[in-house]
Amino acid sequence: MRRTASILHLDMDAFFASVEQRDKPSLAGRPVIVGGTGGRGVVATASYEARVFGVHSAMSSAQARHLAPHAAFLAGRFGAYRESSRVVMATLRELSPLVEPLSLDEAFVDLEQADVDVADVEAVHALATELRSRVRDRTEGLGCSVGVGSSKFMAKVASELAKPRRGIDDQVEVVVPGAELETIAPLPARAIPGVGPVAAARLDKLGLRTVGDVRAASMGELVRELGQSWGTGLAALSRAEDDRPVVSSRVAKSISVEDTFEHDLRDRPECRAIVERDAGLVCSRLRRSGQFARTITLKAKMADFTVWTRSVTLEGATDSVERVTRAAVRLLDGLDLREGVRLLGVGVSNFTTSAQEELFVVGDDGEVHDEPVVTQELGEVASGPFGRRRSFDGRRWYPGGDVVHEDLGRGWVWGSGHGVVTCRFEFRGSPVGRVRSFDADDAALRPAEPLPLAWVPPEPVDVEE
Ligand SMILES: [Mg+2]
């Protein structure tokens, strides 16, 4: 914990849903649910209007439909979210070189590296207010909440306290140094970093429901129930003691496992088994470190000692063995094994200390899957599901997807089925548009890219992106 409120946390409000409302004038002020639109899909983001009905992220789409049958259910437009995210992150980097993105819509900023007197709480508040309006301008209308405090914990608590309340557009909260304990005491124990549903349930059994309850508990009790390191860590956090630094994701640390072989390998199933095992080892070390990685790297040394490396960067940080293994195996698919491999290694890097909110992709079946999207394959053309979708030359219509019609112009897919696709012809900044239906194979109607934002981040934006 610092003596000044100098760590800032920015969190976009209902990010994916807000992007959709921004780009679809008829959805402004209406319940919007982004996520899996099929039978087994889950909600990625619900707009505030949908949350009123009890819809929240990670809920099954079926339940969301039951709660909010009149909401717009959209499959998601990842390219549009990523573009707005880049604009937000670039705007944060103008404040300070020390920016730690946690996900597409959330980041910490170290204001000690910023051009502001962090001892001056009013100046910090003004900076946060100015930041919000800059983000709104550059993203062409997206809202965010900004919290500032003396630690990461406090900054995150502050941005949560700043979240939209009805009729108030002042989503900035600064926890003044000295006010930390009274600020966190009434919050649920789950507000403590690292306390998930399981830990919260255990605390609840002990009658510890708020942060204040945890602080008042005896250290002996916490250690007995939660173990030495977690018990003492929790006790410290409940006293607002948090010294975690803001770590720029540009400072990449990595975890890797390599094997050198007695003889050169040419057999693909054998190499694949090694890569799978190495990915498992890397993930168990990653989990022990308490971190989540965005970048997965495969390294190979060939029989002639040339070194081959390829990386993929996921949109969301993960510690999932399946996800890391899948990415590593996909990289291996791009390696020509004919001349023989003498070394194989799997590495992860680009760490964050929290997992990405569940992301999702639209698969070939039109169903939305909650797996991270491969956005970049160094040395190769992107081949993630959205890459396929972009190059898809057939007729596949996703609810919410962008379209262009030869005569009617730009619009979006409102619904489709039984050989018919229904579109609404409107776009960001246009009046609310009319709805028209077409044959699903009408040649005048084409899938389109999202309308780009006017403000383009200066180069270089981000070394990992
Ligand atoms: Mg958010």
208-253 confidence digits (pLDDT tens): 999 999 999 999 999 998 888 889 999 999 999 999 999 885 444 6
* Preceding omega of 25 cis (within 30 degrees of 0): no
What is the model's pLDDT at position 251? 43
DSSP 8-state symbol, 97: S
Q: What percent of the chain has pLDDT over 70?
A: 87
What is the model's pLDDT at position 378? 26
What is the model's pLDDT at position 376? 27
The length of the chain is 465
- Burial environment of residue 175 by CB neighbours within 10 A (0 to 12, 13 to 18, 19 or more): buried
Q: How far is the CA of 163 from the centre of ligand 1 (A)?
A: 9
The bridge status of strand 420-424 relative to strand 435-439 is antiparallel
Q: How far is the CA of 389 from the centre of ligand 1 (A)?
A: 26
Between CA 214 and CA 424 the distance in angstroms is 52
Q: How far is the CA of 327 from the centre of ligand 1 (A)?
A: 26
With bands split at pLDDT 50, 70 and 90, how would you rate the model's confidence at 386? very low
Q: How far is the CA of 11 from the centre of ligand 1 (A)?
A: 5
Mean pLDDT check: name the lowest of 125-129, 248-252, 314-318.
Answer: 248-252
Half-sphere exposure of 256 (CA within 13 A, CB side): 21
Between CA 348 and CA 279 the distance in angstroms is 9
With bands split at pLDDT 50, 70 and 90, how would you rate the model's confidence at 365? very low
Q: How far is the CA of 16 from the centre of ligand 1 (A)?
A: 9
With bands split at pLDDT 50, 70 and 90, how would you rate the model's confidence at 394? very low
Q: Give the DSSP H or E segment for 255.
A: strand 254-265
Q: Which domains does the chain have, with CATH numbers?
A: 194-238 (1.10.150.20), 254-352+360-379 (3.30.1490.100)
Q: How far is the CA of 436 from the centre of ligand 1 (A)?
A: 33
Q: What percent of the chain has pLDDT over 90?
A: 63
Mean pLDDT calculated for residue range 336-365: 71
pTM above 0.75, yes or no: no
How far is residue 432 from each of residues 22, 78, 400, 411, 435, measured CA to CA in Å? 12, 23, 15, 10, 10
**In the numeric block, which tokens belong to residue 322?**
């399946």
Q: How far is the CA of 104 from the centre of ligand 1 (A)?
A: 9
With bands split at pLDDT 50, 70 and 90, how would you rate the model's confidence at 318? confident
Q: How far is the CA of 304 from the centre of ligand 1 (A)?
A: 49
With bands split at pLDDT 50, 70 and 90, how would you rate the model's confidence at 167? low
Mean pLDDT check: name the lowest of 39-43, 69-73, 222-226.
Answer: 39-43
Give me the residues near ligand 1 (ion), CB cutoff below 5 Å.
11-12, 105
Q: What are the backbone angles phi and psi of residue 350, rounded to the nearest 5°?
A: 65, 60
Between CA 12 and CA 31 the distance in angstroms is 17
- The percent helix, strand, coil of the chain (3-state, each to 5) is 35, 25, 40
DSSP 8-state symbol, 303: T
Mean pLDDT check: name the lowest of 329-338, 351-360, 400-409.
Answer: 351-360
**In the numeric block, which tokens belong to residue 115?**
């051009």
**With 90 as the cut, is the pLDDT of residue 4 above it?**
yes
What is the model's pLDDT at position 249? 59
| Residue 106 known to be catalytic | yes
Catalytic option among 20, 49, 100, 106: 106
Say which amino acid occupies 423.
C
**With 80 as the cut, is the pLDDT of residue 388 above it?**
no
Q: How far is the CA of 108 from the centre of ligand 1 (A)?
A: 13
| Mean pLDDT, the chain, integer | 85
Q: How far is the CA of 10 from the centre of ligand 1 (A)?
A: 8
Mean pLDDT calculated for residue range 137-159: 97
The bridge status of strand 32-35 relative to strand 72-74 is parallel
**In the numeric block, which tokens belong to residue 261?**
């072989």
Between CA 441 and CA 394 the distance in angstroms is 9
> Which residues, at least 6 apart from 69, have a Cβ–Cβ distance to it below 8 Å?
none
